[in-house]
Structures are given as C-alpha cells and as structure tokens.
Amino acid sequence: MNKCFSAVISVLFISIIFISCGNNSPENYFNIAVLNTNRLSGFAGNGMIRQLESPSEMKTGENNETAAMKSVDAVNSHIEFIETNLSKLKELKPTEDTKEMLDASLALHEYVLPVFKNEYMQLAGLYDSRASEDKISALSGSIKDRYLRGYEDIYNKLIAAGKQYAEKNTGN
C-alpha cells in the first residue's frame, strides 16, 4: 500500500508540474503582450528617428573590439526583437480574459514589422550612407504620415485592454 501511495503521489506531483508549465501566469501574459511593446515607443515618430541618427548601442567588432552600431544594425535589432516577441505572443493560449489584449498586441507587432523591414531599413541605409538631409526628411516624413495614426490607434487599444486585464488580475 505504501508503494502504491508513493507512486500515486509521484504521478500527481509530475502531473501538477506539467500542467503548471503549460499555463502562463497573468504577469507573463501582460509582460509579453503589453510591457514588451515599450521597445516600440517612438515608432513613426521622433524617437525612432533619433535612434537612427545616432545609434547608442555598441556591438563587438572584430578582435572583441567595440564599434558604434550602424543605423541598419539598430533596425535589425528591432526586427529581431519584434519577431521574437511575436513568436512568444503566438505561443500564448488566448483565454476569455486575454483575447482582446493578445489580439491588439499581435495586431501592433504585425503592423510595425513590415515597416521596420522596408521603410526603416531604407531610412537606416540613408543615414549610414550619409545621404542628403532632404532624402532623409522625405522618407522619415512619409513614415510618420503613413503609419503614426494607425500605430497610435492600435497601441491605444492595446493599452486599454492591458489596463483592463491588469485590473482584473491584480484586484485593484
């Protein structure tokens, strides 16, 4: 009987571990869906332009030397982040409580990703090649005109859904 009881307890314990590994905490949902979008702040506005004008991050060059990051590298870093977070979002199981927040976050990521891959990559190339201010201004203005309003609309929906989700899950 004692061996049987130990076996049942072991199976129960392992089952609980597997079940809990499959469930994401409310904090995890919120972090991936809402907080991680802070990295997108400045999209289609002055914040992203400043990042491209003078990328502040350093990367390791040859022989472990540090070198200033190029604008193209900064855009590639954003693309990598967006694609990684988009994969994490797609892995989260939507629930009644999370669906609106996840849908808004997915929409935001899917909205900005092609802009980074296309227009921002072109703009970064202009910065790196030291193109004329007129060319840079024309493309940055075009990005702002075409994408800022859409970004703000989706972002505001995400923040509203995130606040509602946080209130439900923190008891405030």
pLDDT digit string, tens, across residues 72-112: 999 999 999 999 999 999 999 999 999 999 999 999 999 99
Asked, for residue 16, whether it belongs to a domain, the answer is no
Contact 144, 48 (CB under 8 A): no
Asked, for residue 7, whether it belongs to a domain, the answer is no
* 170 — pLDDT class (breaks 50, 70, 90): confident
Asked, for residue 158, whether it belongs to a domain, the answer is yes
pLDDT per position as a tens digit, 121-130: 999 999 999 9
Asked, for residue 89, whether it belongs to a domain, the answer is yes
Residue 24's pLDDT is 83
Asked, for residue 6, whether it belongs to a domain, the answer is no
Residue 61's pLDDT is 61
* 4 — pLDDT class (breaks 50, 70, 90): very low
Residue 33: domain span: 24-170
Asked, for residue 31, whether it belongs to a domain, the answer is yes
Asked, for residue 159, whether it belongs to a domain, the answer is yes
Q: How many domains does the chain have?
A: 1
144-164 burial, b at 16+ Cβ within 10 Å, e below that, comes to: beebeeebeebbebbeebbee
Query: Against a cut of 0.75, is the pTM above it?
Result: yes
Asked, for residue 86, whether it belongs to a domain, the answer is yes
